[in-house]
């Protein structure tokens, strides 16, 4: 059904001296097969998917050697819209894959483009809505949906299109445990219908038992193919040696950690209540909550529970939330908290403003710091960024941006570090790096709160855990 024969590819034009993103890739996927592509970040998984759905070379230009065919037809030679009828894609970022503003229009979009008769489109939509059980999401504004709901709509939209081949590019990166399981259900539906599925993923646990074959990639090559019994007998240890994530799908709620121990020094929050604009009921309402100072606390909870809003309130960024924080005998109001907390946001790129990595750290140092430059260089070294001090922050990789943001946090001398989903979309090696970094920050006396769905990260570094919202979960 899908065939890549001896494919090498590099982005850019012919003369450009870029490195190969893919080298000599051989991949054959039969009709009805479910293949998982996995491997460390930058190994070429996404590039393979782009070759199959035709975005390479029609949207991302580059030099292809070898042949890519779908259903016997060459993808590079065919027009993109022709491939689009056979291949449906679901992407990683739920915020940027919708063309419409309303959910129903989004489901119809692919079929409308193809010029199918209206009645047939309506019929198809009704069928998908029923099978996926998404009646509640219809006729909604997409900007009001949670990430999990958006991803469901993206899958439903591929389903309405009726493609025989479904490509999934890290669809679970932003999803919580429950929603990931819901995604698994949708994939099982497609399996039952006999669709050909190719998924690129780091978080492999939720689909490990569904796949026929796992293709492990490394530096643009296929390093290993695992099928049948070989796949089933693998242990977590062998997987992490290959740089892969665990295959045990663990609910973060199942990890037993206290949220606060009696011997901990308390950071006490009082009267944290938050309403979304126009909402009648509060997103969360916390009369009192004690957090452990000097520890790493994981904050877990479903998509849409208000975890990110909670971090915003904690940082004093929400004018509508008027709670207080008590720490070390001092009371911090909203304004004061802005100077106490530092948040590493999900979109780290949105919090880096200057033209060079060094300048970014310099503007974070408190005014009048002695030997500014030396101090900044020291911090960059500590975070493994010393070779990058002249680079533009926006040109760094995701992990590097994250470390730069943390360097700024350290430079500003804030006591409380908050991180929003720091490991979404990270491979095993980068996840452990982040965990080690957090542990060393803790050793330096920083209090850390991490909003995360990542069971492995919690196991690797967190000492406390808080289920959000706390009023429901605490006994």
Please, which of residues 206-265 interact with other proteins by CB under 8 A? Answer: none
Is residue 164 part of the contact set for other proteins (CB under 8 A)? no
**In this structure, is the dihedral angle defined by the CA atoms of residues 216, 222, 223 and 226, taken in order, positive or negative?**
positive
Contact between 439 and 469 (Cβ < 8 Å)? no
φ/ψ of residue 290, rounded to 5: -105, 130
Is residue 188 part of the contact set for other proteins (CB under 8 A)? no
- Distance, in Å, from the CA atom of 405 to the CA atom of 360, rounded to the nearest integer, reads 9
Is residue 198 part of the contact set for other proteins (CB under 8 A)? no
Could you tell me if residue 446 is left (phi over 0), alpha (psi between -120 and 50 degrees) or otherwise beta?
Answer: beta
Is residue 280 part of the contact set for other proteins (CB under 8 A)? no
Is residue 276 part of the contact set for other proteins (CB under 8 A)? no
Beta strand extents in 155-265 (DSSP E only) = 165-169, 196-200, 213-218, 221-227
Contacts of 59 by beta carbon, 8 Å cutoff, 6+ apart: 50, 80
Q: How many CA atoms lie within 13 A of 188 on its CB side?
A: 11
**Smallest separation (angstroms) from other proteins to the CB of 18:** 18
Is residue 356 part of the contact set for other proteins (CB under 8 A)? no
**Smallest separation (angstroms) from other proteins to the CB of 406:** 13
Is residue 104 part of the contact set for other proteins (CB under 8 A)? yes
Interface with other proteins (CB under 8 A), residue from 69, 146, 249, 338: 338
Which residue, 57 or 243, has its beta carbon nearer to other proteins? 57
Residues of span 290-319 touching other proteins by CB under 8 A? 312, 315, 317
Interface with other proteins (CB under 8 A), residue from 41, 93, 240, 432: 93
**Position of tokens 């680079």?**
391
Stretch that binds other proteins, among 263-271, 298-306, 347-355, 463-471 (CB under 8 A): 347-355
- What is the distance of C-alpha 77 from the center of its chain? 33
Supply angle C-alpha 213, 134, 304, rounded to 5. Answer: 85
The verdict on whether omega for the bond into residue 469 sits within 30 degrees of 0, i.e. cis, is yes
Stretch that binds other proteins, among 12-20, 97-105, 184-192, 453-461 (CB under 8 A): 97-105
Residues of span 413-452 touching other proteins by CB under 8 A? none
Stretch that binds other proteins, among 2-10, 18-26, 136-144, 370-378 (CB under 8 A): 136-144
Pairing state between β 464-467 and 324-327: unpaired
Residues of span 21-80 touching other proteins by CB under 8 A? 53-55, 58-60, 79-80
Stretch that binds other proteins, among 33-41, 170-178, 333-341, 381-389 (CB under 8 A): 333-341
**Smallest separation (angstroms) from other proteins to the CB of 89:** 4
Interface with other proteins (CB under 8 A), residue from 26, 65, 130, 271: 130
Strands laid side by side in the 62-70 sheet: 22-29, 2-11, 62-70, 73-74
- Distance, in Å, from the CA atom of 72 to the CA atom of 236, rounded to the nearest integer, reads 38
Stretch that binds other proteins, among 85-93, 190-198, 216-224, 252-260 (CB under 8 A): 85-93
């Amino acid at each position: 059904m899908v065939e890549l024969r001896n494919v090498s590819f590099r982005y850019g034009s012919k003369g450009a001296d870029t490195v190969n993103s893919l080298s000599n890739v051989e991949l054959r996927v039969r009709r009805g097969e479910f293949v998982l592509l996995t491997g460390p970040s930058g190994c070429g998984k996404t590039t393979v998917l782009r070759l199959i759905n035709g975005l390479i070379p029609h949207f991302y230009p580059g030099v292809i050697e070898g042949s890519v065919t779908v259903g016997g037809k060459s993808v590079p030679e065919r027009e993109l819209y022709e491939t689009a009828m056979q291949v449906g894609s679901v992407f990683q970022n739920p915020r940027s894959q919708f063309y419409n503003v309303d959910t129903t229009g989004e489901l119809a979009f692919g079929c409308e483009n193809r010029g199918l008769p209206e009645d047939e489109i309506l019929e198809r939509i009704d069928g998908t809505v029923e099978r996926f059980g998404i009646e509640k999401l219809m006729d909604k504004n997409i900007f009001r949906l949670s990430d999990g709901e958006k991803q469901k709509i993206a899958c439903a939209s591929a389903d309405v299109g009726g493609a025989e081949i479904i490509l999934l590019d890290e669809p679970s990166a932003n999803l919580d445990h429950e929603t990931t399981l819901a995604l698994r259900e949708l994939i099982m539906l497609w399996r039952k219908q006999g669709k050909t599925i190719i998924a690129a993923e780091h978080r492999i646990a939720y689909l490990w038992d569904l796949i026929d074959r796992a293709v492990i990639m490394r530096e643009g090559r296929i390093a290993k193919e695992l099928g049948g019994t070989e796949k089933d007998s693998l242990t977590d240890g062998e997987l992490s040696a290959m740089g892969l994530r665990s295959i045990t799908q663990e609910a973060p709620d199942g990890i037993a950690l206290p949220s606060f121990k009696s011997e901990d020094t308390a950071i006490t929050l009082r009267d944290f209540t938050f309403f979304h604009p126009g909402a009648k009921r509060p997103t969360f309402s916390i009369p009192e909550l004690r957090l452990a100072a000097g520890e790493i606390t994981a904050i877990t909870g479903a998509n849409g529970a208000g975890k990110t809003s909670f971090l915003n309130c904690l940082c004093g960024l929400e004018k509508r939330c008027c709670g207080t924080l008590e720490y070390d005998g001092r009371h911090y109001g909203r304004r004061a908290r802005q100077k106490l907390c530092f948040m590493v946001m999900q979109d780290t790129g949105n919090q880096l403003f200057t033209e060079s990595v060094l300048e970014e750290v310099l503007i974070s140092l408190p005014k009048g710091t002695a030997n500014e430059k030396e101090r900044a260089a020291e911090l960059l070294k500590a975070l493994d960024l010393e070779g990058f001090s002249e680079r533009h922050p926006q040109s760094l990789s995701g992990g590097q941006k994250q470390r730069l943001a943390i360097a700024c946090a350290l430079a500003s001398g804030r006591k409380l570090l908050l991180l929003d989903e720091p490991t979404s979309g990270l491979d095993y090696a980068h996840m452990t790096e982040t965990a080690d970094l957090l542990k060393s920050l803790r050793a330096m006396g920083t209090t850390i709160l991490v909003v995360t769905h990542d069971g492995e990260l919690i196991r690797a570094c967190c000492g406390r855990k808080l289920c959000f919202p706390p009023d429901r979960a605490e006994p």
